[in-house]
Amino acid sequence: MASIVYFLDAKGKSLLSRDYKGDIPYSAVDKFPLLHLEAEEENSAAPPVFNYKGINYLYIVHNDLYILALTRNNDNALEIMLFLNKLIEVLTQYFKNLEEESIRDNFVIIYELLDEMMDYGFPQTTDTKILKEYITQKSHALIKFNQQQQRPPNAVTNAVSWRTDGIFYKKNEVFLDVIESINMLVNPNGQVLRSEILGKIKIKSQLSGMPDLRLGLNDKGIFGGDRSNGNGGGEDRTTKGLEMEDVKFHQCVRLSKFENEKIITFIPPDGEFELMSYRLSTPIKPLIWVDCRVKLHSNSRIEIKAKVRAQIKKRSTANDVEISIPVPEDADSPKFQTSSGSIKYTPENSCIVWKLKQFQGGKEAAMIAELGLPSVTNEDPTFKSKRPISVKFQVPYFITSGLQVRYLKINEPKMQYQSYPWVRYITQSGNDYTIRL
């Protein structure tokens, strides 16, 4: 497992490190900036893992930092990489922002966390909520008054490692957010080349004690997927049109119970967490469709005509629709006309961004833009960049896949309190909702 974990600044200089095994010379990290640079020069596709003289370098770039792990052995690279991700996540939750400055300001607590999260290269406790129980920024204040606070929470080693006991709320509530992100690739004719729904259920739990929860979704059959083939495959999936291809659960969900009985049961961590995520690749039509015609008069100007249509139910409304249309890098003096919304030229991204605050289902909007191009250019116009149009939006109270929460049963064996779940649905664009030009 990882021998050393480093935080490096943008130039590759070490800000802070924790040596877990002592089997790697200090000179190894000094070589990193050079090796990284060389790798990038040799081939612009420098991968995040490489080997130099028997030492393996695994790194993640985060803000202005490199988070780097070194190891000599043929270790589980995916695990190390995930640990680094987790480390970033935990530190971000501790300091809001993880960057060079927050490393410098918080070195004491980072050392403490590094000590607690990994031992001799084995990842240990990585749950922020639990870590916060006994590693606090103001620990010296606590220690004087309350020696008890400084014990390791039972949760660190318990089977239920994500929740401490003794939690109490006056009002017991659970909030469920069902969020579906749509990723889509559409060609200029409106033909969908690729689409997927990445869904997740987020829970904010404010429940006392050790409650046991049971979540019911609208159809057990949706968890058919490949598994149903094994169970005889008699389910009629075509009428439902819903095929959840893969479901991933939070640590707290009893996986074998789900595997055998298709029931989702769990003891939730306190506060916010992501209970499950799922993926569907059923073909869907574009919710927001942009029809865009670009006319390039080389060396003089570029004309863009675009039409956008909200292909959702009339009752629904898409919020914060943002359409980024790429334009040549050297375009200038933009002129816009639009039927609704506002348009801005952002030269830093070489894009024009068309924003519609609210966009009702079934409606259409249009715009015309014209930008000047320099008359002299050394670039060949045939090499125009193939950047696609990207679209961002949110549609509240609407779920694309039709998933529904049927019930959420909450049972706290000792307290037996009343509590109600609140459910919200939202569909939004994923990080890759693009239309090719």
Partner 1 sequence: MSVQRAIKSMFNGPKKGETFELKSALVSQYPNERKEGIKRVIKAMTVGKDVSALFPDVLKNIATRDLEQKKLVYLYLMNYAKTNPELCILAVNTFVQDTEDPNPLVRALAIRTMGCIRVNKMVDYMHIPLKRTLSDDNPYVRKTAAVCVAKLFDLNKEMCIEQGFLDHLKRLIDDSNPAVVSNAINALSEINQMDPTQDALKIDGALLKKILMALNECTEWGRITILTALADYHSTSSIEASHIIERVVPQLQHANPSVVLTSIKTILSHIDKLDGAQYNVTIKKLSAPLISLISSSPEIQFISLRNIRIILEKYPDLLSKELRIFYIKYNDPLYLKLEKVEIMVRLANMQNYKILLNELKEYSMEIDYEFVKRSVIAIGQVAIKLGETATAKAIEILIELINTRSEYVLNEVFMVLKDILRKFPNNSRFLGLIIPVIVSNYQQLDDSNAIASFIWLLGEYPKNFGVDLDSILPNYYQNDNLDNYFNNDDDYTIQLQLLITIVRINIIKQSSSSQNFLQKTLTICTEKSDNPDIRDRAFIYWRLLSSNNTTVINNIVQKPLPIIDSTIPKIPQYKVDELVSELGTLSSIYHEPASEFMDNYHKFHVSRTGNNIASKNIDELQQIAKNEIVNKAVKSETLLDFDDEPEYEDVNTTSANSETNTSSTTASANVLNELNDLFNFNASPVASQRQVSSDGKSNDDIMGLFSTGTAGVANGLQNLNLNSQSSLNNSVSTQSQPQPGSQKPSDDLLNLF
For 335, list phi and psi in degrees, rounded to 5.
Answer: -130, 135
Helical packing angle, 77-95 and 107-117, nearest 10°: 140
In order, the DSSP letters of 369-433 are: EEEE--S---S-GGG---PPEEEEEEEET--SS---EEEEEEE-TTT----EEEEEEEEEEEEEE
User: Which residues touch 418 (CB under 8 Å, ≥6 apart)?
Assistant: 172
Residues within window 127-166 making contact with partner 1, judged by CB under 8 A: 127, 134, 139-140, 143, 147, 150-152, 156-159, 161
How many residues contact partner 1, by CB under 8 A?
100
Element (H, E) at 319: strand 317-326
Residues within window 32-61 making contact with partner 1, judged by CB under 8 A: 43-49, 51, 53-54, 56, 60
CA angle 187, 193, 194 (to 5 degrees): 130
Burial class (CB in 10 A: 0-12, 13-18, 19+), 205: buried
Q: Is 258 in the site for partner 1 (CB under 8 A)?
A: yes
Closest approach, Cβ 432 to partner 1, in A, equals 5
Nearer to partner 1, 134 or 354 (CB): 134
Q: Is 250 in the site for partner 1 (CB under 8 A)?
A: yes
Among 169, 249, 289, 336, binds partner 1 (CB under 8 A): 249
Nearer to partner 1, 81 or 353 (CB): 81
Evaluate whether 265 touches 254 at the Cβ level (below 8 Å).
yes
Instruction: Collapse the DSSP code of 343 into the 3-class scheme (helix H, G, I; strand E, B; otherwise coil) and give the result.
Output: strand
Q: Is 31 in the site for partner 1 (CB under 8 A)?
A: no
Q: Is 431 in the site for partner 1 (CB under 8 A)?
A: yes
Nearer to partner 1, 142 or 426 (CB): 142
Among 319, 320, 387, 405, binds partner 1 (CB under 8 A): 387
Residues within window 278-307 making contact with partner 1, judged by CB under 8 A: 279, 281
Residues within window 74-133 making contact with partner 1, judged by CB under 8 A: 74-79, 81-83, 85, 107-108, 111-112, 115, 119-127
Closest approach, Cβ 406 to partner 1, in A, equals 20
Bridge partners, 302 (sequence order): 296, 371
Q: Is 379 in the site for partner 1 (CB under 8 A)?
A: no
Q: Is 353 in the site for partner 1 (CB under 8 A)?
A: no
Residues within window 181-200 making contact with partner 1, judged by CB under 8 A: 185, 193-194, 196, 198
Nearer to partner 1, 34 or 141 (CB): 141
Closest approach, Cβ 373 to partner 1, in A, equals 18
Among 5, 68, 70, 71, binds partner 1 (CB under 8 A): 71
Nearer to partner 1, 55 or 365 (CB): 55
For 124, list phi and psi in degrees, rounded to 5.
Answer: -115, -110
User: Which residues touch 215 (CB under 8 Å, ≥6 apart)?
Assistant: 201, 264, 265, 266, 275, 405, 407, 408
Q: What is the dihedral of CA 311, 314, 318, 322, to 10 degrees?
A: 50
